[in-house]
Structure 1
Amino acid sequence: MSRYLGSVCKLCRREKEKLFLKGERCSANCALDKKRGKNAPGQHGAARVKISDYAKHLREKQKARRVYGLTEEQFVHYYKTAEKMKGSTGDNLLKILELRLDNVVYRLGLASSKKMARQVINHGNILVNGKKIDLPRYQVKAGDIIAVPEKYKANAVIKKLVEGSTSNVPVWLNFDKNKIEGTIVSEPLAGEASHPINSQLIVEYYSK
């Protein structure tokens, strides 16, 4: 699978907003807060161009892809899955993306960024209902319990993360700091995504 190996700050500059691809580090030292960061990347980044309707739809789709760290092929797969579900395709899409294991690990505070969450999962340091899961794309569901192995609980990094984890945990998740264990209380509702995304623009993009 292809991976983006360039500067993630350029991705935020392209979308002209903080995507928090480095986690909380983006709050303190972000390229968008600097003069150079006000422009899109590239030699023509400072040029003023009129944004077409197509460009608005494309940028929203690209923003969602980057927030969740997906390739175009993966994103299209999730979109097609959302189309087949009952209800709003846009809301279904965001629900599927939010229930990816890597996103849940990040939102529970067990990783400082979604990139780190994928690494933690790939290394076998996440348990779902007591079973080791090493697939970041794994879809969790209401009632699932997310935990870490006993040996990982003593890790200095996880201890530091756990100390500040409960403040940003969304209402559809519950986190027990003492057990270092999270529970999927319910499925996320519209508007409870990890980043503000206009899913209707994405639906219109793929509908053309």
Structure 2
Amino acid sequence: MARYIGPKTRIARKFGEAIYGSDKSFERKNYPPGQHGNNRRRKTSEYGVQLKEKQKAKYTYGLLEKQFRNLFEKANRSKGITGEVLLGLLECRLDNVVYRLGIAPTRAAARQLVSHKHITVDGKIVNIPSYTLKGDQIVGVREKSKSLETITESLASSSVHNFSWLEWDSDSLSGKFLNMPAREDIPENITEQLIVELYSK
């Protein structure tokens, strides 16, 4: 599966925020990349603003265009506000939940843990990062993988697991996915309505 593997700081500078987490390079240069990055005055068109928001969501969650478009179509067919459903579906992805639980320090690391068969869902190994979780499913670390340095370090340094749609059990190194989160519970700085407007053209 193809994915973006280029310089992450450049992408963060493009959007003006550290979308990949703490980044010392971004803190030093938090303006757009390029020769004129710090002095740009050009006004962005309405389409440009919408496109930038879609690109930000794609890079944040680690999806390429076709996958993101398919997820939007699914959200558009679902009941509810399309943009909010879209973000909810992105949060339901297995790699994202592994990241939210603190098992991995980044979504990219979470994707790798899932792909390398270190993660289980309801006791069975699942190696598909895009796997969509349903209510009350249990996401855990495979028994043989519980001593992995990446996982132990991430759990030790992660903040308190305080997402309302997740329950964490530190004894078993597993978490329960309770339900799709509401928009107000998702901390990502994404204006989903702009994405809906872009795809509705």
Q: Answer yes or no: is the 8 Å Cα contact 2:105–2:158 preserved in 1.
A: no
Match of 2:88 in 1: 95
Regions of 4+ moved over 4 Å: none
**1:117-150 CA-partner distances (Å, limit 9, x unpaired):** 0100011000000110000000001100001111
SS in 2 for 1:75: helix
Q: Percent identity of the aligned residues? A: 40
Q: TM-score, normalised by structure 1?
A: 0.90
| CA distance 1:115–1:188, change in 2 (3 Å) | same
Q: Structure 2 CA distance, aligned partners of 1:48 and 1:202? A: 24
**1:5-31 CA-partner distances (Å, limit 9, x unpaired):** 321101111111110x2x4xx1xx433
- 1:171 is displaced (CA, Å) by 1.2
Match of 1:128 in 2: 121
Match of 1:151 in 2: 144
Q: Structure 2 CA distance, aligned partners of 1:12 and 1:112? A: 17
- 1:94 is displaced (CA, Å) by 0.5
Task: Look up the equivalent residue of 1:33 and give its one-letter code.
Answer: E
Give the one of 27, 35, 41 matched to 1:43: 35
Q: Structure 2 CA distance, aligned partners of 1:131 and 1:177? A: 19
Q: Answer yes or no: is the 8 Å Cα contact 1:90–1:202 preserved in 2.
A: yes
- 1:194 is displaced (CA, Å) by 4.5
Q: Structure 1 CA distance, aligned partners of 2:199 and 2:24? A: 31
Q: Answer yes or no: is the 8 Å Cα contact 2:47–2:198 preserved in 1.
A: yes
Q: TM-score, normalised by structure 2?
A: 0.93
Return 5+ residue gaps in structure 1 as ranges. none
Q: Answer yes or no: is the 8 Å Cα contact 1:82–1:93 preserved in 2.
A: yes
How does 1:191-206 map onto structure 2 within 5 Å? 191-206=184-199
Q: Answer yes or no: is the 8 Å Cα contact 1:170–1:192 preserved in 2.
A: yes
Q: Answer yes or no: is the 8 Å Cα contact 1:121–1:136 preserved in 2.
A: yes
Report how many aligned residue pairs link the two structures: 200
